[in-house]
Amino acid sequence: MDKSAKKKIEALREELHRHNYLYYVKAQPEITDYEFDMKMKELEKLEKEYPEFADKNSPSKRVGGDITKEFATVVHKRQMLSLSNTYSEGEMRDWDQRVRKGLGEDFLYTCELKYDGVAISLTYENGFLTRAVTRGDGVQGDDVTTNVKTINSIPLKLRSDDYPKEFEIRGEILMFRQPFEEFNTERAKQGLQPFANPRNATAGSLKLQESSAVAKRPLECFLYSLAGEELPSVSHYENLQKARSWGFKIPDYIGRCENINQVWDFISEWKEARPDLPFEIDGVVVKVDNHKQQEKLGYTAKSPRWAIAYKFPAEQASTILESIAYQVGRIGTVTPVANLKPVQLAGTTVKRASLHNADIIEQLDVRLGDTVLVEKGGDIIPKIVGVNKQKRPENAQKVSFIEQCPECGTKLVRYEGEAAHYCPNDQGCPPQIKGKIEHFISRKAMDILSLGEGKVELLFDREKIHNAADLYDLSFDDLIGIEKTYRDELTGKTRTVQFKEKTVKNILKGIEDSRDVPFERVLYALGIRYVGQTVARKLATHFQRMDKLMQASKDELLDVNDVGERIAESVLEYFSDSGNQKMVNKLQEKGLNMAVKEKKKQTDNKLGQKRFIASGKLQNFNREEIKEAVHNNGGIYVSAISPKLDYLIAGENIGPKKLEKAKKLSIPVISEEDFLNMIQ
């Protein structure tokens, strides 16, 4: 019976893999959705009855269900370098001349569309997907394998049997325009904030902790680059065609060109056809086709010499400026926002656009009722870039920048040398207070993520909290049953959001866990102007305790490396405010870390006299600190890569030559997080 069940399970898996491929890659389904669902249910039932035949690459795993608390950092076997950009035909032809000079022989180009999504690296071993890693900083990225397995257009098991034993294929995960609009509409119905664009929605989806939620997102994947030791061909183009036969979704929007004139024809064709595509692109990528010729051309410090990205000019649209609203940010910055007659731009409906500041309004001479030209800066943030004065109505009203805060009525100020206006009422202006609390709970600060999705605003509006310190007074009874009823603009229906038991417990646990956050992150969480993560870490390291920092003079602050006049004055201003002093003291009373924990001297031999060296920018250490950390934990810090080295710690922007040398010497390359795990 077991043998029969195993045979049936394997047959169903193979059949469902095939139907997935036909539906999501070939767009040529052979059975109805109902028939597919029935086969899937049969497989799920058999897998439940016979768990001994479990397979992590079964089609049933597409629905997700695993929880990922943290995404492991993985160093790329081959760096995912960014491409050099160009915006003109002349620059393209100059690049072509450099390539011709560098090669001195005949060659071909491959042209592909530049998809506007999230870059991904997929590793396959023996025909099965084993790892999916985001681009990250190009040297290392996040392991999102569990989430990527829910994307139907990515094969879990390859077709045919002529693929390399191990290889890497890279591509772009993205959302098509129509499914994105439908997804955003559904979010709005549920009372959730819509995403600004398909790229943001894609990036947010890949980092969800629950893979079953990722499975519900309309994600697609185009593959466009193959890497490995035993590739079928030296031709990039031919490798992609071969990968298509293995089951990968290789886009049809690809061409091979003999010269720069043909390349420019390809670019011109797709620049014209861009609005008709069902997904977002922002340019064309041009590559030398032959891998051996790519190696001959080599790399600069940041990008390959054998490839370039031609970026299309930002899309523009014309519409009517109906009114101007003013938004107040976390540090009091007042930003004018234009309310527009809705217009289609780069695949989305644009209703609002930034006007930046008073100077921009003056330079544009923009008036209410004007016909304005709207552009998506970097194809992401809409902004007004021009005014059609020939269409200006006779009664068009000149815009004067407001003099008082739209939220609290305080007279605005404009500091010398700055373009923005500010509301100075940082202790009493509601959006500033809410913004500071939202910064306080953010991932890189106190990491109380259970308070996301507008919960801070709800608690503030219900007067449960007035500043960040009040979070630590909240109890179960304070939170349970809090609800908000609102009217959905799309449907006209009302909806109620309620704090239920599970939500409340998660919030309180997140607050309790934040008491263990180290001092430098507590300092960053305070939101002192100009004090980012790096400066906060340096201030914490220098002064060691919050009380010493609060009492520091300007000269003492200027003694800290990278602290200049502006930062020193901002720190002094923050701690001279009685309201800030009171909040910091309350945070200390609530048990937050207000001092650098004394570093433990070497009490054991955690690193076992292993030899380390670090390269690239580290997030938690400067050069002296990483040396000290290695020494204090029983390791040896060396000055160069040699056969005697045990580990290379790879930071951001690590040089490719060092990685290559470590690889040749078979030296393990670890991330900063890996090193921290070793010593903790």
3-state secondary structure of 121: strand
Please pick, among 114, 249, 538, 627, the residue that the annotation labels catalytic. Answer: 114
Selection from 273, 281, 234 nearest residue 110 by Cα: 234
R_g of the chain, CA atoms, integer Å: 28
Q: How many other β-carbons are positioned within 10 Å of the β-carbon of residue 677? A: 10
The two three-digit tokens of residue 679, written as one number: 């010593």
140 vs 670: CA distance, rounded Å:
10
The two three-digit tokens of residue 530, written as one number: 């100009």
Maximal C-alpha separation, the chain:
86
Selection from 432, 445, 467, 452 nearest residue 580 by Cα: 467
Is 114 designated active site?
yes
Question: What interhelical angle do 177-189 and 198-206 show, nearest 10?
Answer: 70
Q: How many other β-carbons are positioned within 10 Å of the β-carbon of residue 228? A: 18
Residue environment code for 613-629, b if the CB has 16+ CB neighbours within 10 A, otherwise e:
bbbbebebbeeeebbeb
**DSSP per-residue letters across 643-666:** TT--EEEE-BT--HHHHHHHHHTT
490 vs 471: CA distance, rounded Å:
34
Taking the CA atoms of residue 447, residue 448, residue 452 and residue 455 in that order, the dihedral angle to the nearest 10 degrees is -150
Residue environment code for 544-581, b if the CB has 16+ CB neighbours within 10 A, otherwise e:
eebeebbebeeeebeebeebeeebbebbeebbeeeebe
What is the 3-class SS of 411-471, one letter each residue? ECECCCCCCCEECCCCCCCHHHHHHHHHHHCCCCCCCCHHHCCCHHHHHHHCCCCCCHHHH
Q: Name the E strands within 9-148.
A: 73-75, 85-86, 109-115, 118-125, 128-134, 140-142
Active-site residues: which are they?
A: 114
